[in-house]
Chains A and B, each alone.
Chain A
Amino acid sequence: MSLLQAILLALWAGFCSFDDQGPQMFRRPLLIGPIAGLILGDLQSALIMSATLELMWMGLGNMAGYVTPDMIIGTIVGVVVTVQTGEGTSDASIAAGVAAATTVAVLVQQLMVIFNNLVKQLFAPWADRLALSGNFDSIMKINIVASLAQFAIRAVPTFLVVYFSTSIVDSALNAIPTNVLNGLSVASGILPAVGLSILMTMMMKGIFWPFLISGFVLATYMGQSVLSVTLFSLFIAIIYDMIMEIKAKQDEMPKVSTVAGVVEEEEYDL
């Protein structure tokens, strides 16, 4: 591995890291691996290795809020190991690549837990502060800093791993006890409550409480998906709108409403 190749691989990992959260055009092993193969000068092995990883990690993806084994660095390291160990493309070199890829993917996953759950949390209060300026463009600062951080978080470890060895990342992560990492994941699972509660301050009115609870009960107690809760809520919303419309009409025409009121009262008297 020459220094130039290591730097190119690191740049590619950094770009893919940015891409994974932004444009989302290269976020799969089969799209990441072949470019790493071109850098190393062995496209054939890279293609087979990437296809293996693509099938292995099919259905794995960064769903909102969850951090999965890191496919980006995993793929790049897997390709590097396959190319370095393989005479042509033997089953043994693919196996070595897969082993390296899964190991590094899990190691980097822990790094991403820290990055996502601790470092990136700073963006929320920063954005709140910038919002008070009333300057629409000011938030672009966060995007630039975040993009650079996102680039570095995978470029630096990739360089260290491919140029030196995996032991560096390993020992760096060993410095942080796993129970702290797990604790951090648990704690950041609570944080969506903050965002949702802010949203509530913008939407909630007194009469809405039973409806909020109904949505909650449908989703948890009755195990309905968000989509089915939405369909149900549309039905309630249309009825609510009808009632509000009738109410508005009554307010507009006091004559009619009093007549209706009298009629109603008479009915109740019976």
Chain B
Amino acid sequence: MSAQVNTMSDDKMNAKGSYTKLTKSDINKVYWRLQIFGLGITATSVGMQAIGFYTAMVPVLKRLYKDAPKEARVKAMQRHLTYFLSQNTATGMILGISSAIEESTNEDEKEAVVAVKAGMMGPLAGIGDSVFKITIQAIAGSIGAVYAMDGNILGPILMFIIYNGINIAVKYYGLKMGYEKGVEFINSGEQAKLMQKIINIATMVGVIVMGALIGNYVKINVGTVITIDETVVNIQELLDGILPKLLPFVFTIILYRVNLKLPRKYMIFLIFGILIVGTILAMNGVLV
């Protein structure tokens, strides 16, 4: 929006990925919020780590929406309180890129933020889990255990330094680089056109990955077995024969239809309704 107003020197500064609306301390605040509150403390099965992600984004939103009307602020909050599931360390980078896009988009281009988040969280969760949660943790743990087995205090200290050194560095520099490179990239071209390009690509990636996430994370399995003339029919096997994970997909689509109509304040009934009915069905063996 401000691209036309900017002077030459401003454009040059932007191209280097410097801070325009957001300040360096805003980005540092984002890091500290991610470091302290993480993503798991407020995790729910509904939005997964959405509240944690939002909490980290607050310094950015506060800066960008300082003088915005209430409706815009409500929209911004809802945008970042929707489904998010990734890995703690890798989320630094997603926060950085989201901040860069938040900063450079108009209110009607905000779908870019949602799309980029949705497209990045899945693959980065996969990389993050296998690299930081399994590999680095196992390496640091086995180095530490060798010393600790002999009763050497160096064991836990070494493990602490290796494990946290890598995690904190990747989290912090991922955030910083994500933001700076993000701003640099956005300002490198004709802004409106580039933003449309980002929206196009990110939405498409986001939608396809969302299909994969439904298959991976929603779990509905039928346990009922019907016996007809001594032939045992396992309903789940029958369904899997048609298409694996068919029920989670159909159920998610139904909920999507419901959510288009249902005001968000009734969400609590939906959530606890599913929990209660699901628990009862599972206790009777209908669901496993």
Contact = CB atoms under 8 A, between A and B. Distances in A.
Contact of B260 (A50, A121, A201, A203): A201
B204 A22 contact: no
A194 interface: yes
Interface in B95-142: 111, 114-115, 118-119, 122-123, 125-127, 129, 133-134, 137-138, 141-142
B218 interface: yes
A55 B141 contact: yes
B278 A47 contact: no
A256 B185 CA distance: 31
A58 B138 contact: yes
A262 interface: no
Contact of A30 (B129, B159, B272): B159
A118 B278 CA distance: 12
B38 A44 contact: no
Interface string B190-234: 000000110011111111111111111111110000000000000
B118 to A, nearest CB: 6
B16 interface: no
Contacts of B267: 124-125, 128, 194
A184 B288 CA distance: 11
Interface string A19-33: 011111110101101
A161 interface: no
A64 B43 CA distance: 9
Contact of B88 (A24, A89, A216): A24
**Interface of B: prevailing SS:** helix
A179 interface: yes
B74 A226 contact: no
B148 A179 contact: no
A59 B134 contact: yes
Contacts of B281: 183, 186-187
A142 B208 contact: no
Contact of B219 (A33, A130, A132, A190): A190
Contact of A136 (B48, B62, B264): B62
A23 B38 contact: yes
A146 B216 CA distance: 27
Nearest to B51: A127
Given A208-B207, A237-B205, A54 B144 contact: yes
Interface of A is mostly: helix
Interface in A174-197: 179-180, 182-184, 186-197
Contacts of A188: 45, 275, 278
A58 B141 contact: yes
B250 to A, nearest CB: 10
A212 B145 contact: no
A51 B197 contact: no
A147 interface: yes
A7 to B, nearest CB: 23
A192 B148 contact: no
Interface string B257-288: 01110001101101110111111111100011
Contact of B73 (A30, A134, A203, A232): A134
A180 B284 CA distance: 10
Given A50-B148, A129-B265, A237-B200, A191 B275 contact: yes
Contacts of A263: none
